Amino acid sequence: MGVKAREGSRTYPGVDPSELDARRERFEALAPSVIDGVRRYLARRTDPATADDVLSETLLVCWRRLDDVPDAPLPWAYGVARNCLANAARGDRRRTRLAARLAVVDPPRPVPAAEAPDTDLTEALARLRTAEAEVLRLWAWEDLGPTEIGAVLGISANAASIRLHRAKGTLRDELRKLDASVGHEQSTEGARP
Amino acid sequence: MNDDDLRERLRVADPSASLPRLTPELTANLVEDAMTTTTSIPTSGRWKVLLVAAVVLATAGLGWFFAGTMLPGRTVGPTASTQPAVVRLTATTDTAKCRPPEAATLDGSADFAFAGTVTDVSGASVTLTVTHVYRGQAAGQVQVSLDGNSESLAGGDVERGAAYLISSAQGSVLGCGYSGAADTPGLERLFTEAF
């Protein structure tokens, strides 16, 4: 049995209506900027069906924890989305399989980069540890600095900065290795009669 | 390859680049949905909830039986049991459509509510030592198994020593702002008002 709220009811016992209005106003002002950022964050990390679910869930958490939302809401909201996404990933396998099937039935829209995908980069990112790849994504895709990355991951700005620095180095190394192996294959092919 | 080049190469591969712009209508719908919500426990978790409820009832029943036969005339309460019971709960909130929590709803729904400190986190199970029982039987320890999505007790975030306020109904933790870290703004007040 869960907590069933009364559908359609707009009264909140114990809550001053004017306070509720103020709360709604704050949320309505805050949400649009958060929605677009979180939507992109999720599109980069999961299938469209899960992204939709987790976006709704993230917004619910933002609404319920409106008093906790800091002045810079986006990194905080990314952190919430990250937790919700991790929870979704821990959900039962049946749901995961269903989400995968839905993703196939309703395939993601074609991505322009797919025409000329940077396979080396994809491969290099895949070779990185999950935590390293994630700081790079937060840095390049979400356009965050170390302080904000720290806020998303729940670590200090200093730790985020160190992790980011190392991750960049590792990615460069992996890209170099891949370039070298491709170059080697090409030169071998060229030398064949 | 300098930082700018590296960042640019990553940006070109951004999978969200083709995501269409959000329409104002869709944004408004999402905002409204978040503020007007309901919650339910998923059907997949119900049998587990029933099982856990059965275990809790059996434990409680045994407690009452022994209290009744061995300690005649004494009531079962926090001071009555020499060996505090271990209560097992599940935390499942797969479907999270919630309204702001209300004390009246909490009062009407919860059959067990307590304040506790996390003493052990192992895998999908969190053990808390009870520091105060707001409602329900006396318990020394509560084990919460995190079944799937639990926003109120997100597995990765639960740390040993952290204080929580948890309410449950029939062995299932109430999410949606009715359980969470003790320092969650408004949660303690909600508990005090409800119980």
The β-bridge relationship of strands B125-135 and B139-146 is antiparallel
Residue B116 CA to its chain's centroid (Å): 12
**Least Cα separation, residue B176 to chain A (angstroms):** 8
Higher pLDDT residue, B16 or B94?
B16
On the question of pLDDT at A94 being above 60, the answer is no
At residue A43, φ and ψ (nearest 5 deg) are -60, -30
The pTM of this model reads 0.52
Q: Does A179 touch chain B (CB under 8 A)?
A: no
pLDDT grade for B9, boundaries at 50, 70 and 90: very high
What pLDDT sits at residue B148?
A: 57
* Average pLDDT value over all residues in chain B: 72
What are the Cα distances from residue A144, in Å, to A74, A132, A160, B59? 10, 15, 11, 51
What is the phi/psi pair of residue B31, to 5°? -65, -45
Residue-wise pLDDT for A23-60, tens only, equals: 888 999 999 889 999 999 999 998 888 898 899 999 99
CB contact under 8 Å between B22 and A63, yes or no, is no
What is this model's ipTM?
0.73
What's the pLDDT tens digit per position in A120-148?
A: 898 999 999 989 999 999 999 999 999 99
**Residue B174 half-sphere exposure, CB side, CA atoms within 13 Å?**
32
Give the per-residue pLDDT at A171.
95
Half-sphere exposure of B103 (CA within 13 A, CB side): 14
Q: Is the pLDDT of residue A183 over 70?
A: no
Partners of residue B37 in chain A, C-beta under 8 Å:
5, 60
Report the alpha-carbon distance of residue A26 to residue A55 in Å, rounded. 19
Separation of alpha carbons B165 and B130, rounded Å? 10
Q: Is pLDDT above 70 for B172?
A: yes
> What pLDDT does residue A146 have?
94
Q: Quick one: closest CA in A to B104, which residue?
A: A13
Contacts of A114 (CB under 8 A, 6+ apart): none
Structure confidence at residue B124 (pLDDT): 73
Q: Enumerate residues 106 to 145 of chain A having a beta carbon within 8 A of any beta carbon in chain B.
A: 109-113, 117-118, 121-122, 136-137, 139-141
> Higher pLDDT residue, A163 or B26?
A163
Query: Phi then psi for B76, rounded to 5 degrees?
Result: -85, 120
Q: What single string gives the DSSP state of each residue in chain B?
A: --HHHHHHHHHHT-GGGGPPPPPHHHHHHHHHHHHS---B--GGGHHHHHHHHHHHHHHHHHHHHHHHHHSTTPPPSTTT-SSPEEEEEEE--SB---PPP-HHHHHHH-SEEEEEEEEEEETTEEEEEEEEEEESS-EEEEEEEE-S--STT-GGG--TT-EEEEEEETTEE--TTSSEETTSTTHHHHHHHH-
CB contact under 8 A, B39 and A3: yes
Report how far apart the first and last C-alpha atoms of chain A are (Å, whole number): 74
pLDDT at B144 over 80: yes
Residue B65 has pLDDT above 50, yes or no: no
Hey, are the CB atoms on A68 and B96 less than 8 Å from each other?
no
Alpha-carbon distance B67 to nearest alpha carbon in chain A (angstroms):
29
Which residues from chain B sit within 8 angstroms of residue A88, using beta carbons?
A: 149
Which pLDDT belongs to residue A9?
37
Find where tokens 């790849």 sit. Answer: A133
pLDDT given at position B149:
52
In chain A, alpha helices (H): 17-43, 48-64, 73-90, 93-105, 119-127, 130-140, 146-153, 157-191
Q: How far is A30 from chain B (nearest CA, A)?
A: 10
- Binned at pLDDT 50, 70 and 90, residue B109 comes out as confident
